[in-house]
Chains A and B, each alone.
Chain A
Amino acid sequence: MIVTTQLTKRFGHVLAVDHVDLTVREGDRYGFLGPNGSGKTTLVRMVLGLVYATSGKIEVLGEPVPARIAHVLPQIGSLIESPSAYGHLSGRANLALIDAAGTGPGGGRRGRRARIATALDRVGLSGVDDRAVRKYSLGMRQRLGLAAALLRSPRLLVLDEPTNGLDPQGIREVRDLLAEINAAGTTVFLSSHQLSEVEQLCTRIGVIDRGRLVLQDDLARLRGPTGRVIVRSPDADRAAALLDGRVADRDADRLVVADSDAAGVNALLVSAGLRVTEVTEERRSLEDLVLSVTGSGSDRIDGGSAGRPGRPAEVASRDGAGT
């Protein structure tokens, strides 16, 4: 759905996006993670033909961008950085204007009312009155922005920080909505600086740091087993003795066993008459992973010793971010 090749954008001296090879496949729920100022919005704008790449190629829905952008955009719904609307008009009037503005199929005057009603309904604004958007809460505006993105039942949704300003309840609703839309066949590309949001929704993630794509993989694979098993047992001492040599780590009644076969470990312990509270495969933590490949947010400006204390060196170090 989105393929970028060595995509680079330079704003004067600032290298906002640096040789990024990104691949979003059809049906993905792609989470595009990165600290503030890492280049997420810039990449999204390039994909949508708003910002022109300094070098590199973009292909969206199989078509080159920006060359065939007019062809591609009608099939994309987007939310870029923050929702916008004409403050003096009502939400419905805004949607009507946005709906009428586009070219491409499915934007006719007929059915506009129905499209708007459906979109409002999907984002939970079906009961909205005629008050001006100026008087909306941030959450309502966010929902309205989403409704605008959903107006034409797009094949691809490109959402830049879609849950900004929403309360936990709203975040959850949006997450459910996106999962539902995705299930109906729409590819979702979502950028965020919040790991938990991405972790809970996405099937695939890309991590960008200071313009470079430092990680891109299926979430399931990233969070795959480490080849170790975690065992909790009141008889931890005996268990440790039994698993002699294979215990990698121990913390009171919690043992980390260097063995990828949880069932085998369990059978071994149980057959020895030991009590087992819990046996699980150890899985990688996404947070640790992401922190290990990213530096400190590029919106931080640390000035030598005068700067605020940074994150632990082994995490903040960019050297660890192998690409």
Chain B
Amino acid sequence: MAAATGTLRRWAVVVAGTAAICALPAAVAAWPVPASALSAAQLRTRIELSARVPYQGYAESDVDLNLPSLPDLGNVVSLLDGTTDQYAWYRSPGQWRADVLTAAGEDDTYQTKVGTFTWNYTSNLLTQILGSQPVRLPRAADLLPPALARRLLSLAGRAASFSRLPSQRVAGLDAAGLRIVPTSKLTTVGAVDIWADPATGLPLQVEVFGRGAAAPLLVARFLDVSLTRPALSTVTPQPAPEVGYTSTELPDVSRILNQFGPPLPDQLAGFARVANPGGLADVAAYGSGLARFVVLPLPQSTGSAAMSAAKSVGASIKITGGTAELIQASLLTVVLVSVPGGLVYLLTGAVTPIVLDHAATALLDSY
């Protein structure tokens, strides 16, 4: 009997201890977060001005756009459909580094005063990207919460309504929430929620919701962050002797863009072209706020491959003057249209299909 009560007491101690350990994360999460007194406008301004706030931290983005895989876009598709873990060191807009971490390697991007470098462990290659990049494909660093939040804010511009969300804890910091609801009915984005450090405005978590969706299609957040300035040596490439070195211009888009397509018009189906000083003449973005789409010409080979890939996953739509392929992903809409002369145009953006339908028609018209 004595033994039985002793056993019970011991098990009680162990079970209670285990429960306490297991409950710890939940308890920390449930611990009330002090509300921030900032208004939505104040918070928004702070976030917009946070580009100079240094930080280093571990971020995870979880994107679920259900994009079909298109040839030559593999990297982008995996970025926009799945989980990306990266560690970022950010000193200033011109000096930062972001490492995409994989189980047995990494893909790093360095931004230095000299230029942009990428390091790929698999190919043992450090690549310098020469010149400015007027156009480029999305890269992992774009999904870091601060970069993504500021970009979405600037895209949304004034064509959205802003409101405060209750504060929540992100990576151990109390973060003030801001909700952005686009006013335009033409975008597929229902809302964008941003949580930022109220003192510095540094965005810590971003969630993008589809129209009417309860669960976010994109979540980018810090799992660990410290608002300290990383050492300069950390954000400067220091290749080992064995490392190969190369340099390139427009590393990603050069492969898939036809740089010799005809210049694009200033207006497309009533949407104004977004000013992009120094940009390429044949790549353009149209629209305003989050209701915005890009038009890019694909070279013959990529274009026809993309076309046939789209045919198998998308829906053909009839437009005046020809046909186009429509791919409707969770947030993004993609339309591929062939124009006379063999060129294939890719139109994509977080817009409703009807927008791209009209744009494709207008594009065909211009030929």
Contact = CB atoms under 8 A, between A and B. Distances in A.
In the complex they form, whether A and B have CB atoms below 8 Å apart is answered with yes
A55 interface: yes
A52 B3 CA distance: 6
A104 B2 CA distance: 25
B103 interface: no
A59 to B, nearest CB: 14
B1 A55 contact: yes
Nearest to A56: B1
B1 A66 contact: no
User: From DSSP, what is the main secondary structure of chain A's interface residues?
Assistant: loop
Contacts of B2: 52-53, 66-67
Interface residues of A, number: 6
Contacts of A66: 2-3
Interface in B1-33: 1-4
Contacts of A53: 1-3
User: From DSSP, what is the main secondary structure of chain B's interface residues?
Assistant: helix
A253 B4 CA distance: 64
Nearest to B2: A52
Contacts of B4: 52
A103 interface: no
B176 to A, nearest CB: 59
A52 to B, nearest CB: 3
A55 B3 CA distance: 10
Nearest to B3: A52
A218 B239 CA distance: 92
Contacts of B3: 52-53, 66
Contacts of A52: 2-4
Interface in B185-203: none
Interface string A62-101: 0000110000000000000000000000000000000000
Contacts of A54: 1
B19 to A, nearest CB: 27
Nearest to A52: B3
Contacts of A55: 1
A54 B4 CA distance: 8
Contacts of B1: 53-55
B1 to A, nearest CB: 6
A53 B2 CA distance: 8
A55 B1 CA distance: 6
Nearest to A51: B3
B102 to A, nearest CB: 47
Interface of A: 52-55, 66-67
11 contacts: A52-B2, A52-B3, A52-B4, A53-B1, A53-B2, A53-B3, A54-B1, A55-B1, A66-B2, A66-B3, A67-B2
Given A53-B1, A55-B1, A66-B2, 7 more contacts: A52-B2, A52-B3, A52-B4, A53-B3, A54-B1, A66-B3, A67-B2
10 A-B pairs with the lowest CB-CB distances in the bound complex, closest first: A52-B3, A55-B1, A54-B1, A52-B2, A66-B2, A66-B3, A53-B3, A53-B1, A53-B2, A52-B4
